[in-house]
Structure 1
C-alpha cells in the first residue's frame, strides 16, 4: 500500500465498518479517490457470453448495493462491476451492528441481510447510465418476507434485463433465512426454469449467472451443475461468503454470526471453483470470488478454472489502488510467460485445486 492508501485506511478504520462503507461510496460519487489508471493490454481481454471484458477483474456484488457508483468503480481499473443485491421492495436488512472487521485475518463478517433501496431506485440510476460503455452486472435477490421468492427473481429479471450486461441470481447469502435452501435441486430447477422463461419474455436477453455458496458438499455441487447445464444458464459465480470459521484467530469478532469474506475464504472457494469447472466442462462461464487480494490470488483463480474473478473485501484492506495493481501484475505475468492471452492460464491448476479436501 502507498502512504496515501495507508492514511486513507487509517481514517476509514476510525469509523465503524458500515459508516466507513457509506463514506467510500460518497467519495466515489464525488470523483474520489483518484487512483492510477490500470494499464490496458489486449492480452488481458476476455470475450465471454457475448461480452467483451477489457480485463478479467471485477468488483463483486455487495459493495455498490444500490447501483450508485458503477462507473466510478470501472474508473478504478476494474474490467466490470456488479451492483446489488437488489430486491423488489426496499428493505432495511438486519439489525446493527452487522459488519465486523477481522483485521488480523484481513477478513470481514457481515450479516447485512440484503439491505437496499429496492428495484425502483436502482432502475432509475441504471436507466440514467444507459448507453455508456462498461460492463455492469446486476445481482438480484428476494425480499426476506416475500410470499413468492421465485417470483421476486422473475421480477428482477424483467426489471433489469434492459440495463444489465448480465444478471446474477443470488441464492447463496447466509443472511436471509431459508435462502440457501433454494440451492437444493428441486427448488433450484424451478427457480432456473422460471428465471430463463422471464428472460425469454424480455426484449433484451442478457446472460444469467448463478451465485452459489462455498459451503456446498460434493453431492450438492453435482446437483447445481446438473441444473445449470439442463436449464442452459450461462455461468456460475463461485462463491458467496462462508459460514465456516476455519483458521481464524481467536477474536471477539470471529464469533459473530454471518458470512465470512476475505483472505480466509480463498482456499475453500478456489477448491469449490475447480470442482465446478470439472462438473460443468469447458464451455460454461465461471467467475471466481473469495479471498482475491493480489495479482497472484486472482491468477490462481483463473488457473483453477475461472474465466473472470471478482473481489471486494481485499479492497477494504489494500485500498482503492488495488484493482490497478492487480491488473498491472497480470500484465507482468503474461509478459513474463509470453502468453498471447490470459485465457491460456485457465484450468492449468484445476486438477490440483479440485483434489483439495472441502472438510
Structure 2
C-alpha cells in the first residue's frame, strides 16, 4: 500500500464528484493493509481503499436529480444494482450484484471520489464531521442491537471494537437494563464504561459465563450481540443466553466455527440473526437521529486523528488495539 498522486476520477451521467473532508479507518481496511487471507481472496489491486467518510459535492452528472453541488454527504458502502431479487424485495443490503466501496470501487482515502447518486446520504447539519464519517459502522451497530427490542432487557456484548462500543451506547439509549461488555483489550473496556456499560469483563482474567449468570440471578442474558468474530466468545455467548433469547452476529470469522446446535440453540429455542451492512436507507435515518438528537454520543470511541498521508500510524494503532476509531483528515 502506498500514498501517491492519481488523476481525479471521471464523472458518469448519474455520478457525483465528492471532495472528501475526513475519512475513518475500518477493520476491513486493516485486513487489506495486512494482506490477510480474506483480503487475498476478496481484493484485487490496484484500488483506493476506504469507505467511511464525509465530504462535499463539487460536481454532478447530467442525469443527477436529487443531489446538488454543495451538499455534505456520506455514502452507503454497498453499491447495489437495484434490480436483482433481493433489491426488488427490500433486501438491498444483500444485493446479489453489489460492489463494495473501497474494495470493488475506488474509495474514500483520497482527496476526491466519484459515486453513483443513489448511494449518497445527505448529512444532518447538526452532526459534526467526525460523527458523520462513522455513520456507516454506527449503522451496523444499530441493526445488530435493534434486530429485536432491547428495552428493559439484559444484554451481553462480545467484542469492544468500535462497532461493539457504538452498540453499547445504543443499547443504553434504547433502555437495556443491563449492558455487559466482554473484550480482552483493557483500553477498549475502559471506553465501554464511558459508553455506558454496567459491567466490563476481560475474558482472559475473568469467567464471562459465570459473571453473566451472577448478574442475571442465574437466568442468563436476554440478548447477546456478537462482534468479535471469535469462536470461543461465540460459544460463551450461546451458553449464557436465556432460553427463548436471541443472538445477533456481526463478527466475521476467519474459519468455520464449532457450536453445539442441539444444546445451545435448538433446545433453548433461541433466535439467531446474521447482520450484514445496513438496511438501505431506513437504518441511516435511525443512525442520523441517534446522533443528531444526542441520544448517543460516539465521542469517546473516536480517539485519534491523523493526516491522510500518515495513514500507517492509524493502521498500526488499529492492529495493536490501542485506539477506538481513527480519523484521517484529508
- Structure with more of its chain in helix, by fraction: 1
Both proteins in one fold, TM over 0.5 = no
Q: Work out which of the two has the higher radius of gyration on C-alpha atoms and give 1 or 2.
A: 2
